[in-house]
Amino acid sequence: MTIAAGDTDYETLSAEQTVSLASGDGLAAALRRIAGALPEAAALNAPLDRYAWVGIGGPADCLVVARERATLVRAVRLAQQAGVPWRVYGGLTNVLVPDTGLRGLVVLNRARQVRFDDGCRVVADAGANVIPVARAAVGRGWGGLTWAVGLPGTLGGAVVNNAGAFGGEISRVLTAADVLLPDGRVKPVSPDWFEFRYRYSKLKAAGWGGVVLSATFQLRPGDPERLAAKAAAYTERRQRTQPPGRTLGSTFKNPPGDYAGRLIEAAGLKGARCGGIAVSEHHANFLINAGGGTAADFRALVDRIQRAVGEQFGVVLEPEIEMVPDERPPGAASSSSEPERTH
């Protein structure tokens, strides 16, 4: 189903319910009502570590796993209407969820429809995984996403972060996107709207509440054998240079004219640990959950690296990952240790 700005064919809360949720019943009651409106997709007090690439994270007050674009939009609009805090994630491949979890509504985008059109054009839901789309493009002899054949995460996340590797960037092939705005409207936008720069779009900036729903990419015809060979070389290089295991990918952005991994290694921190999190011996810009790691461990190691590199080289390492701040008081947790289904 295609959703355009101004669509009204979504069931919403009544005016009476909205007043009750926002002012009378409190956050917990509001989330129960929202979950009740999405019984096949929602769970209360749902652990997030099982979804996170690094295997870390406390529970979401309410989790919606949206397998269709319509479900995602409806969940966000209900939260907006009720005044409930909300956020949308794709694969949680580069997001550090705090040990105390996330307040409000969390939506995981699993909408993954992809269409390969004539003229080397790809139209995909934002929840589609990057790797199979990139590999399918290579299989068709289409260039432009070959660099992404080993990139974890979703296309929506790739757009938000302006993901790139091996000299390629997602912003170079993006031609259009549909974005869910903070006011609930769906707006078609051009690449300029995102204000892309290195590993950045304005949706990554604090204060922006928009969500990428779908994206269109213009690829180019190429020689299938050469593209396949290049894809194999990129995959081999990634496997050779990047560590396996539970990580969030590159932890820090490369500073101008240098590499974060080189600086961390030169600071003597290869193999350094905080609790269950360790600096990879394979590549120092990767932090590994070696077993039993927590978000607190991860943050402590990030802080230690930043201090050491700053003191020794005068370089401020900026995180490439998203580290969500704790939203609950120390020792606080959700009301139940078990997830609560609403159906």
Contact predicate 341/40, CB 8 Å: no
Radius of gyration of the chain from Cα atoms? 21
What is the full DSSP assignment across 99-152? TT-EEEEEEEE----EEEETTTEEEEETTSBHHHHHHHHHHTTEESSGGGTT--
How far does CA 134 lie from the centroid of its chain? Answer: 18
250, 280, 299, 334: the active-site residue: 250
Q: What span, in angstroms and rounded, lies between the C-alpha atoms of 49 and 30? A: 24
Q: Residue 96 burial by CB count (10 A; 0-12/13-18/19+): exposed, middle or buried?
A: buried
110, 246, 320, 334: the active-site residue: 320
Report CA torsion sign: 148, 96, 179, 213.
positive
Q: What span, in angstroms and rounded, lies between the C-alpha atoms of 162 and 322? A: 14
The pairing of strands 86-89 and 102-109 is parallel
140, 199, 273, 304: the active-site residue: 199
Contact predicate 114/128, CB 8 Å: yes
Structure tokens at 48: 């997030």
Among this protein's residues, is 250 annotated catalytic?
A: yes
Contact predicate 21/30, CB 8 Å: yes
Residue 341: what are its φ and ψ, rounded to 5°? -75, 155
Among this protein's residues, is 320 annotated catalytic?
A: yes
Residue 169: partners with Cβ closer than 8 Å, 6 or more residues away: 162, 163, 196
Strand, helix or coil at 255?
Answer: coil
What is the full DSSP assignment across 10-65? S----HHHHHIIIIISHHHHHHHHHHHHSTTTEEEEEESTTTSTTS---EEEEEEE
Active site residues: 199, 250, 320
